[in-house]
């Protein structure tokens, strides 16, 4: 609620401070005294447009400051935390207009932008001015009213969480389906490439090894001839090298006792002889394995030709790179198969969530439908009380596509003159009608919703007598749990005030300025009597005013 409003250098207001009651605050005053100026100043801290023409003294800045208590306002506290502002029980909202027309906004002395100011202020103050449709014609507000009266709170919370899960899962399904479409476009080509590599049957380093084998096969006769010659010299000639080394080793062995170094040299000579013998044996083995084969040469040539064709096609240089490409293609083909399974599972999950959402939405819709008739009847009864006997409201509930709010399209329809033609409320109701309608509706939902401070600017337009009295009664009942501020010309409403403020013009120096003061009990009686019978109230009017205030 708003505890204090401080206005400085705005329009014809030099400086005023208003301390508000937590219940029903009534503001009265002569026409033109400046009541609407107060609302204009208040609208600045609610985020409305600011102009330099609003400055009373063009050489000083204008400042409008509201002090609010937000101890039990969880919605405001959440926003303050979100915007990283000082989170205290008291909230100071300030708007400044410089002499050049530029304005700045502050919350707890921290600068904020207008969007942030409006968002937070909308949870602090609900301002209803004449000729301003405000939120009553807004479908979101209408839905909130109906859900509050239908006690849909828990169902809505459950449904909202489930619907978010459903939309997330549906989006994931769409992503998978898009991936599949893209994958399918390349599926045939990737499968062709994989099959080609699979059919080639290449092994690790095979092409490089085949290159070496082909060189050997192509020179088989020369290689065998050279290997045979070397082997012959080592082991088979008249004086084979291996045998010579063995003989030399034996001779040197006989000289071991004559020199200390000779035994070591004998060992080395024996090692060389053994090594050459092994080399000769391996050469014999290689020689026996080398066979000239035109058929094998053809096979190797064909495999190498295929391999080089694939290397060129995939723009790589080695067999192992081709094998990596094959592995990658295998993974892509496997992924497409897995994608199909993932889509089937995701479709099942999405369908199950959709079914749960539809069931919850149906329950919410059923509760709304049950509420529409008694809600309209109660509002219509209150409309008679507040001086609108020919006005009627009804709720139009139509099935619509499943969305974050359920499966209903909600519209409040209004007929001001029992014409039988109901039209959307926002299109046909006048400012005064909307204000009284809002009062009736909010008096019904006040205990169900966390309402901000309600401000009604001349809600009494076009009513008097009993109707005005009933408006006062409804406002008084509503103020038992909510702060109300109302500008009125009706004594019946003013008499219900917990705090009565009087707006007046006073001459200060060479200028006329608007001021405001809170009235004591005697001043209230006099003011209400003047509202009843004129500037000089009669004794009967004063007595009537006493009774109204007393009651």
CATH number of the domain to which 1 belongs: 3.40.50.300
Does 85 fall in a domain?
yes
In a domain, 415, yes or no: no
Q: Are residues 314 and 206 in the same domain?
A: yes
Is 437 among the domain residues? Answer: no
Q: Are residues 329 and 251 in the same domain?
A: yes
- The average pLDDT across 140-169 equals 92
Query: Has residue 164 been placed in a domain?
Result: no
Strand pairing report for 110-112 and 392-403: unpaired
Last-in-domain residue among 291, 306, 338: 338
Q: Which domain holds residue 534?
A: 521-551
- Please, what's the b/e burial string for 256-285 (b: 16 or more CB within 10 A of its CB; e: otherwise)? eeeeeeeeeebeebbeebeebbebbeebbe
Same domain, 474 and 536: no
Q: Please check whether residues 514 and 528 belong to one and the same domain.
A: no
Strands 453-457 and 484-487: parallel
At residue 528 the predicted structure's pLDDT band, cuts being 50, 70 and 90, is very high
One domain for residues 534 and 507 = no
pLDDT, tens digit, 9 for 90 and up, residues 273-283: 898 889 888 88
Give me the mean pLDDT over the 336-345 stretch. Answer: 83
**Domain end point (choices 338, 357, 375):** 338
Percent of the chain with pLDDT over 70: 97
Sequence-distant (≥ 6) Cβ neighbours of residue 179 within 8 angstroms: 339
For 84, phi and psi rounded to 5 degrees?
55, 45
What pLDDT, on a 0 to 100 scale, did the predictor assign at position 130?
44
Element (H, E) at 2: strand 2-10
Find the range with the poorest average confidence among 94-108, 339-353, 435-449. 435-449
Indicate the DSSP class of residue 499. Answer: E
Per-residue pLDDT, 129: 54
Name the residue with higher pLDDT: 166 or 184: 166
More confident: 453 or 352: 352
Same domain, 108 and 120: yes
% of the chain residues with pLDDT over 90: 31
The number of folded domains in the chain is 3
Q: How confident is the model at residue 136 (pLDDT cuts 50, 70, 90)?
A: low
Do 542 and 472 lie in one domain? The reply is: no
* Residue 374: C-alpha distances to residues 26, 242, 367, 394, 439 (Å): 31, 120, 12, 10, 17
pLDDT tens by residue, 428-484: 766 667 778 888 888 888 777 767 788 888 777 777 788 888 889 999 988 888 889
The reply to whether 121 and 55 lie within a common domain is yes
Beta strand 499-508 pairing with 24-29: parallel
Q: Do 205 and 238 belong to one domain?
A: yes
Residue 37 has pLDDT above 70, yes or no: yes
pLDDT-derived band at 131, boundaries 50, 70, 90 = very low
pLDDT at 371 exceeding the cut of 70 = yes
What pLDDT is attached to residue 133? Answer: 41
For the ranges 24-38, 328-342, 401-415, the one whose mean pLDDT is highest: 401-415
> What's the whole-number mean pLDDT along residues 404-424?
90
Cα dihedral 21, 22, 28, 34, rounded to 10, equals 80
Average pLDDT of the residues in 290-299: 78
Alpha helices in 201-293 (DSSP H): 206-218, 220-231, 241-253, 262-289
Q: What pLDDT score was predicted for residue 373?
A: 95
- Average pLDDT in the 114-141 region? 72
Q: How confident is the model at residue 21 (pLDDT cuts 50, 70, 90)?
A: very high
């Amino acid at each position: 609620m708003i505890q204090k409003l401080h206005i400085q250098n705005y329009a014809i207001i030099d400086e005023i401070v208003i301390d508000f009651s937590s219940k029903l605050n009534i503001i009265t005053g002569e026409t033109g005294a400046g009541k609407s100026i107060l609302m204009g100043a208040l609208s600045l801290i609610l985020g409305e447009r600011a102009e330099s023409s609003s400055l009373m003294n063009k050489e000083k800045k204008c400042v409008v400051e509201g002090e609010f208590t937000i101890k039990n306002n969880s919605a405001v506290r959440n926003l303050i935390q979100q915007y990283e502002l000082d989170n205290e029980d008291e909230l100071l909202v300030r708007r400044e207009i410089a002499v050049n027309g530029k304005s700045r906004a502050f919350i707890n002395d921290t600068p904020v932008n207008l969007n942030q100011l409006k968002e937070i202020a909308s949870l602090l103050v609900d301002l209803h001015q004449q000729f301003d449709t405000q939120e009553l014609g807004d479908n979101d507000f209408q839905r909130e009213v109906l859900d509050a009266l239908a006690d849909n709170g828990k169902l809505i919370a459950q449904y909202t969480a489930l619907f978010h899960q459903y939309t997330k899962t549906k989006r994931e399904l769409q992503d998978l389906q898009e991936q599949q479409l893209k994958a399918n476009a390349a599926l045939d080509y990737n499968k062709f490439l994989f099959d080609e590599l699979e059919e080639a049957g290449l092994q690790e380093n095979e092409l490089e090894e085949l290159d070496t084998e082909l060189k050997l096969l192509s020179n088989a006769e020369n290689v065998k001839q050279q290997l045979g010659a070397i082997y012959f010299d080592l082991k088979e000639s008249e004086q084979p090298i291996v045998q010579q080394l063995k003989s030399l080793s034996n001779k040197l062995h006989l000289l071991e006792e004559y020199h200390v170094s000779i035994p070591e040299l004998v060992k080395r000579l024996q090692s060389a002889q053994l090594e050459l013998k092994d080399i000769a044996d391996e050469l014999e083995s290689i020689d026996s394995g080398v066979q000239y084969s035109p058929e094998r040469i053809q096979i190797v040539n064909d495999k190498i030709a295929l391999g080089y064709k694939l290397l060129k096609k995939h723009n790589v240089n080695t067999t192992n790179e081709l094998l990596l490409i094959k592995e990658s293609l295998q993974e892509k083909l496997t992924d497409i198969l897995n994608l199909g399974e993932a889509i089937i599972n995701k479709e099942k999950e999405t369908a199950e969530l959709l079914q749960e959402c539809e069931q919850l939405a149906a329950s919410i819709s059923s509760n709304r439908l049950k509420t529409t008739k008694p809600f309209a009847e109660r509002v219509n009864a209150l409309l008679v009380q507040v001086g609108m006997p020919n006005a009627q409201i009804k709720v139009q509930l139509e099935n619509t596509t499943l969305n974050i709010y359920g499966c209903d399209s909600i519209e409040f329809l209004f007929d001001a003159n029992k014409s039988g033609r109901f039209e959307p409320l926002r299109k046909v109701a006048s400012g005064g009608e909307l204000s009284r309608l809002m009062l009736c509706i909010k008096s019904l939902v006040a205990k169900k919703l966390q309402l901000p401070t309600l401000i009604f600017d001349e809600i009494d337009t076009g009513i008097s007598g009993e109707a005005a009295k009933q408006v006062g009664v409804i406002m008084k009942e509503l103020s038992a749990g909510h702060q109300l501020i109302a500008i009125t010309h009706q004594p019946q409403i003013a008499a219900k005030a917990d705090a009565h403020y009087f707006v007046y013009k006073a001459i200060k120096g060479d200028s006329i300025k608007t001021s405001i003061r809170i009235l004591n009990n005697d001043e209230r009686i006099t003011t209400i009597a003047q509202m009843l019978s004129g500037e000089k109230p009669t004794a009967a009017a004063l007595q009537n005013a006493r009774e109204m205030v007393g009651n």
